[in-house]
Each structure stands twice: as structure tokens, then as C-alpha cells.
Amino acid sequence: MKIVAGNSNRALAEAVATELTLKLCSVSVRRFADMEVFVEILENVRGEDVFVIQSTCAPTNDNLMELLIMLDALRRGSARRITAVIPYFGYARQDRKSGPRTPISAKLVANLLVEAGANRILTLDLHAMQIQGFFDIPVDNLYAAPLFVRDIQERQSGNSVVIVSPDVGGVVRARQLAQRLNNTDLAIIDKRRERAGVSEVMNVIGDVAGRSCILVDDIADSGGSLCNAAEAVMAKGAARVEAYVTHGVLTGNAVQRIGESPLTMLTLTDSIAATPSIRAARNIRQISIANLLSNAIHAIADESSVSSLFA
């Protein structure tokens, strides 16, 4: 087995390799003067089971192109099997036609990954589960929920907890987490989104008064939905409010908005590398998915069950 790392999240790749007691494969990834990507695999990979760790986060197109070229280089180097490990799958929110003459970019990216040489995909908390059907190769979609459950149990011991979905679309995700927390209560934010990135909270469905509210989502981008939801539950008498989000995209002034919000803490995974502003934020923290990824990689390499990791 060999682990190859791109430049999107080097720290996570190194942590995964450490968990597997391996060293990262020696790779040269550089740019020509016109910013074309060039990749050279500096070790023999013939007949090897290779795992390429690369999140397609910002700069999304650069990181995606880097991943595609690494896959092509490994295929041409005669690797036996190539698994693209994509902790954060960019373009996942473009999973359907949103209007006339618009693309389904998630399907396009799936096609590109397969054509570049990926034999299977390993990812975390896909924004839309149907994206797995865009691939004609095996896709293992991991879940951050077990990590969140352990962390919530440690931080909220003795508190009356209610899991809150920030919108109707996230109810299934929130319910699954609530079930893992011994079927704790569930609340839902009823909101209306006027346009992309702007949301208006309409109502809170469920009893949150005097309780510790846990907002759950897969992606935090502008932070508007989380902050609006936090304000809504506090207005309904919540004792405190925290949030657990798998992928911290956090564009624009999202970090500042979260810092000024009622959120006591926003917990993210390290599927996307933390920026300096995130590391400096008073109410944002990251928990590592390195152990989760390493266990999944080990299971794939051994041809054993990945789903058993979530039993």
C-alpha cells in the first residue's frame, strides 16, 4: 500500500499515514510558469494499491486538476488499484439541474475522476447521497456522525440536549445523530431561502427552551444559515447553542459572522485545512478524521467491511 498526498490538506494526509505507520509516497507537484500543473511520482508504484488523499476545496479547480493529474500519473505508472480519497468532495452541491440550460457538475467531476484513472472513491459526508450513483466504480461514503457523537457526549455530559436541523433538508442527518445519542429530542428550523447564500428563519419546530441545542449540518459556507438558526433557538429560550459541521468551507466573512453569533462553539472536521482566521477564532475548533480515514483505507486494502466502522 502507498499513500500519495496532494497539496490541498497535507497535514491530514500526514496524520493518516502516521495512523497507518507508513510514510507518504515521494511525489513532486509543481507549476510551470503559466501555472500548468505537473506531477511526478518519485517512487515505483507498479502493482501497488495506491490511495491519493486530496480534498477538492478552495482553490477548487487547482486542487481538482492536481488530483486528476496525479491519478493519470499513477495509472501510467502501472499502479494495481488507485483509490481517490476525497475528504471534501467539491462540486457536490451541483447534483441536479437547478434551472434550464444549467450543468450537473457533480456528474461531470465523477466522469473526470473515472477517466483519469480512479478505480474507487473514498469520501466523507457527501452533500447528496445520490452522487454515489454518478460513478460506475465503487464509492465508500464515510460519516462523521460517530466522531460527533463521542465529542457531544464528552462536552454535554449532564446537559439536556436537543439536536437541531438548520433546515428541512437536513432532517435525516439530524435524526440519525439524535438516534445515535440515545434517541435524544429533535428540533427543526423552518426557513425560506430567498437566494443562494441568504436565508431567513421562519419558525422553530420543537421544544428548545432551557436546553443545550446542537445544530448539525454537512457544509458551512457563508455561515448565514447556522448563525440565523442559532439566533432563532436563543430567541426561543435555549440555554446555549453549539454546531457540528463536517466541512468548514467558510467563505468570505463567515469566520467573523460566526464569531459575532450566539454560537458557543462551532466544531468542524479537518476535511478542509484550517485557515489562519479559523485557527485564531475563539469559537471554532477542529476534530481530526485521520483515524476514521486510516481505518477505512485499511479495510479497503484488506478487502474487509467499511460499513462495519459505523455499526
Catalytically active residues, by annotation: 191
Is the bond preceding residue 166 a cis peptide, omega within 30 degrees? no
Q: What angle do CA 187, 189, 195 make, to 5 degrees?
A: 160
**Residue 194 · residue 168 · CB < 8 Å:** no
- Residue 81 phi/psi, 5-degree rounding, is -145, 140
